[in-house]
Structure 1
Amino acid sequence: MADRLAGCSRAAKHRGCGSNSGYGARRVVDRLRLPICTTPRRCLGPSNWILIAWSPMHTVYDAPAREPATLNLPFYGASFGASVRRFFRKYAVFTGRASRSEFWWAMLFQYIVGTIAGLVLAVVVIAVMASVILGADQTEPAGTVLKATVASTLVMVVGLGVFTLPLLLPSIAVTVRRLHDTNRSGWWYLISLIPFGGYALYVFTALETDAAGSRFDSEHSLPQLEHTAS
């Protein structure tokens, strides 16, 4: 088995397994006729790529994925760090495409930021309310409650603006690019404005890549990345 896996790794180098598509690796698996199994079968070769064969279909992934040299192209198999970096570098880019990994890692990043922001705001609001109540005249409880409510509301509004507004534009942009990757117009984003439309939008963003979506790629070149995968 070890000889077979080593041969698989050597053959993969000549068949282009390092590409994002993974088709070279799939041909290697089919040629070797690896048995279909009900659990993932992993092959670690000298070149550090992984084959995972699932039953009943041969779905093969190679790792690590290679990042495109420019921001024009989507990054399939992007890591969390690469997705967040591209999320901000393409801050207001509504042309081109975004892979599923780019989109969902960006969503996770926003969820983490939102959770931390919510906890911080909760602590600040409680501290403001306590400060107003303890420092107010205790003979007028109604006025004290009103002042505390107004102060906490102002803090909440300002805090939400500080944390969410900087992420709003890139969030819309990456969603539009993800729709492009499924060969859908970015105007489908407006479906989120109707009741339950947001659920349909997330279904669209979870769909597989459609090669026809390349029609949305920008004709203007975006800046090259400073560091690209070898």
Structure 2
Amino acid sequence: MNWYLAVLKNYAGFSGRARRKEYWMFTLFNVIIAVVLSAIGTAIDTQIPYFIYLVALIVPSLAVMVRRLHDTGRSGWWFFISFIPLVGGIILLVFLASEGKPETNEYGANPKLAPQAG
């Protein structure tokens, strides 16, 4: 849960690097919360809480994805590869799951060497 909160605290931070654990733990908690809100919405016959949550998390989700791409040595503009039908999403998933560059790159120092969030 600390990884999720760390991303929310840095909700609009598009600079720097995010390690794999930070990105995937945020994604895991994001999916869990979205599923719970969707189930609650189905039970009360409205999806308004679910859609409010999705809109509120657009910027933090994009920010952590850009920082994750930075960790792999790629620009955040690589996000747009996901718009290529069939293969774009797969390529982006591979980039996001790849090991980060161990050395300091143009986006900052290796986040694994920095103090941990959780």
The residue number in structure 2 matching 1:216 is: 107
Contact map agreement 1:84 1:105 (CA 8 A) in 2: yes
Higher normalized helix content (fraction of residues):
2
Code of the aligned partner of 1:198? G
TM-score, normalised with respect to structure 2: 0.83
Corresponding position: 1:115 with 2:31: no
Contact map agreement 2:83 2:89 (CA 8 A) in 1: yes
Corresponding position: 1:188 with 2:108: no
Distance 1:213 1:187 in 2: 20
Distance 1:123 1:194 in 2: 36
Larger radius of gyration: 1
Instruction: State the shift of 1:193 in Å.
Output: 2.2
Contact map agreement 1:103 1:174 (CA 8 A) in 2: yes
Contact map agreement 2:17 2:70 (CA 8 A) in 1: yes
After superposing on structure 2, the runs of 4+ consecutive aligned residues of structure 1 that deviate more than 2 Å are 158-161, 211-214
Distance 1:198 1:86 in 2: 26
1:166 maps to which of 56, 63, 83? 56
Instruction: State the shift of 1:91 in Å.
Output: 0.1
Contact map agreement 1:183 1:213 (CA 8 A) in 2: no
Unaligned stretches of 5+ residues in structure 2: 110-114
Distance 1:102 1:121 in 2: 28
Code of the aligned partner of 1:115? V
Contact map agreement 1:97 1:213 (CA 8 A) in 2: no
Distance 1:82 1:104 in 2: 12
TM-score, normalised with respect to structure 1: 0.44
Corresponding position: 1:206 with 2:97: yes
2:26 maps to which of 106, 113, 121? 106
Superposed CA RMSD in Å reads 2.2
The residue number in structure 1 matching 2:8 is: 88
How many aligned residue pairs are there? 111
Instruction: State the shift of 1:212 in Å.
Output: 5.1
Instruction: State the shift of 1:198 in Å.
Output: 1.8
Contact map agreement 2:69 2:95 (CA 8 A) in 1: yes
Which deviations, in whole Å up to 9, do the C-alpha atoms of 1:17-38 show, x marking residues without a partner? xxxxxxxxxxxxxxxxxxxxxx
Instruction: State the shift of 1:160 in Å.
Output: 3.5
Distance 1:168 1:215 in 2: 25
Instruction: State the shift of 1:186 in Å.
Output: 0.4
SS at the partner of 2:57?
Answer: helix
Contact map agreement 1:181 1:213 (CA 8 A) in 2: no
Which structure has more relative contact order (CA 8 Å, sep 6+)? It is 2
